Amino acid sequence: MNVAVLLLLGLGLSEVEGRCFFNRTQEHCVCYNLSQESLGSIIQCLPASVVEFRGGELERYAAFPISGLDSSTIEMLDSLVIRKIIFGDLLVPEILLAQVLRFFSYTRVRELVFESCIFKGRGNWAEMTGQNLPILSLHFHNVTSAPLTGREQDLSSLSSWLETLQELAVTGSHVTSLPCGIGRVFRALRSLDVAQNSLGDERLMPAFCEGAFPQLQVLSLQRNNLTSYHSVCKSVQLLRELQHLDLSQNKLMADPSSSCQWPMALRIFNLSNTGLDEVLTPLPPGLEVLDMSCNHLHAVDISLTSLKKLFLSQNMLQAAPSIKNYTMLDTLHLGNNLITELPWDEVKLLRHLWHVDAAGNPYNCSCSGARGLQELAGMGHLGQGWPQGYTCHSPPRYQGRLVKDVPVSVLQCNSAAVIAPVCIALALLGMGGAIYLVRSRPGLVRPCRRV
């Protein structure tokens, strides 16, 4: 059994003294700096569904002779419940990785994660030709490796596995380009996360060339080196299944004329923190979720009738956008803008609108403003920010007070509207009383008749 564990988890070996810790409630096992002496403690990781190896250097084991497995070992590997393996802070010789990966075909590991690892050298991947692995999700974060260009042969050896991969993340790893050929290998990929890299506008186009990532639904390009909205649109145009695109934390600029069509399937679009001072056009027409928070927008005038969630917090909006046509809207975030009054009569008409966050605005607490907010809060629509996040900036007598504390009774709010009917009522009452008196005691008004 030890041999099999060693083979399967061979990457955890290291010279520094270390051991494994198993958390039963989380089914999570972490091994730090495993050595040959402490290797036995891997045994306690066997019931875990997530196993994590942290620290160590594997170069010494690059020449480790790893050969075929006997049937009892294969049976044992098959019975393991491990679903996810994380390798962190490790130096990984690629040649060792190529040898060990083969044995994953006998396991049920679905997810493989490499964090802060350095891949060294080039592996011999030829033995992987035609091999299927159960791994569906592959994550690399902050890794260093030989460049991907010029490795078509390695990729084609791995292709029968990579063709079935569903999720790939390569984040924080200084990626500057994705050759066209790579995308064509990942035929079943649903989600690609290349956040926190250095992809620029020109390098994006080849990455999503004809035939690349044909099933891609989710793409994160968060925090890269993208500037042209138009060129991003052109680059992803061929991703027909794309539903979710994250461009947040790039520095996007408006292009003078942009006639590009976004993929029709696009539903979720993240333009948060992209330095926008105006809404870029065109927006994908079928959007359901639009995040344009953390920009410098002064006004928003969009018409996207299928919109369900609109995030506009931390902008410079002086008025809420007109939302009466967004009949599907269920979430509206307008916090930390310069809005003085919410269109609360529009808000109340939207049947699905349940989550409104509009804290941190300089509210005008004249009657209608304060009452609208209080009514929304009363209906349970204002989330956690209520009441402490909602303060009045005007009129002067309420400045600095919480909107919640502004008195909005009918009498105080609209004296003209109250006083006029009251006067009329009183007048009518008075007249009625007079007539009654005349009728019942006619003698009172009858001129005195002297007898």
Ligand X SMILES: *[C@@H]1O[C@H](CO)[C@@H](O)[C@H](O)[C@H]1NC(C)=O
Q: Where does this chain bind ligand X (CB under 6 A)?
A: 23, 25-26, 116, 118, 142, 144, 198, 200, 222, 225, 246, 248-249, 270, 272-273, 289, 291, 311, 340, 364, 366, 368, 394
Q: Minimal distance in Å, beta carbon 168 to ligand X?
A: 19
Of 270 and 361, the one with the shorter C-beta distance to ligand X is: 270
CB distance 125 to 101 below 8 Å: no
Find the shortest distance in angstroms from Cβ 69 to ligand X. Answer: 32
Shortest distance (Å) from residue 225 CB to ligand X? 4
41/225 with CB nearer ligand X: 225
Residues 6+ apart with CB under 8 A from 48: 22, 27, 28, 29, 81, 82
**Residue partners of 188: CB distance under 8 A and separation at least 6:** 163, 164, 165, 166, 215
CA dihedral 393, 395, 401, 404 (to 10 degrees): -100
By beta-carbon distance, which residue lies closest to ligand X?
A: 248
How far apart (Å, rounded) are the C-alpha atoms in residues 142 and 226? 20
**Residue 409: which of 446, 373, 444, 371 has the closest Cα?**
371
The residue among 162 and 221 lying less far from ligand X, judged by its C-beta, is: 221
Residue 290: beta bridge partners? 269, 310
Inter-residue contact 189 to 216 (CB < 8 Å): yes
Nearer to ligand X among residue 208 and residue 363 (C-beta): 363
**Shortest distance (Å) from residue 96 CB to ligand X:** 17
| Amino acid at position 68, single letter | G
The bridge status of strand 28-32 relative to strand 19-23 is: antiparallel
To ligand X, the closest distance from the beta carbon of 394 in angstroms equals 4
* Least spacing, CB of residue 299 vs ligand X, in Å: 17
Q: What is the DSSP letter of 380?
A: T
What DSSP state is assigned to residue 163?
Answer: T
Q: Which is nearer to ligand X, 157 or 270 (CB)?
A: 270
* Tokens (6 digits) for 260: 């590009």
Residue 227 tokens read as 């500037």
Can you give the length of the chain in residues? 451
Instruction: Give 198 or 303: the residue with its C-beta nearer to ligand X.
Output: 198
Nearest approach, Cβ of residue 288 and ligand X (Å): 10
Q: Which two tokens stand for residue 11?
A: 């990457």
Nearer to ligand X, 7 or 307 (CB): 307
Q: Are 31 and 55 in contact (CB under 8 A)?
A: no
Least spacing, CB of residue 357 vs ligand X, in Å: 13
Whole-number minimum distance, CB 208 to ligand X, in Å? 18
Backbone angles phi, psi at 109, to 5 degrees: -65, 125
Nearer to ligand X, 46 or 155 (CB): 46
Question: What is the b/e burial string over 15-39, where b = at least 16 CB atoms within 10 angstroms of the residue's CB?
Answer: eeebbbebeeeebbbbbbbbeeebb
Smallest distance, ligand X to C-beta of residue 59, A: 14
Would you say 295 or 340 has its CB closer to ligand X? Answer: 340
Number of Cα atoms under 13 Å in the Cβ half of residue 272: 17
Verify cis geometry, omega within 30 degrees of 0, for the bond prior to 442: no
- Tokens read off for 291: 């995040």
Q: What sign results for the dihedral spanned by CA atoms 160, 166, 172, 178?
A: positive
**123 or 369, CB closer to ligand X?**
369
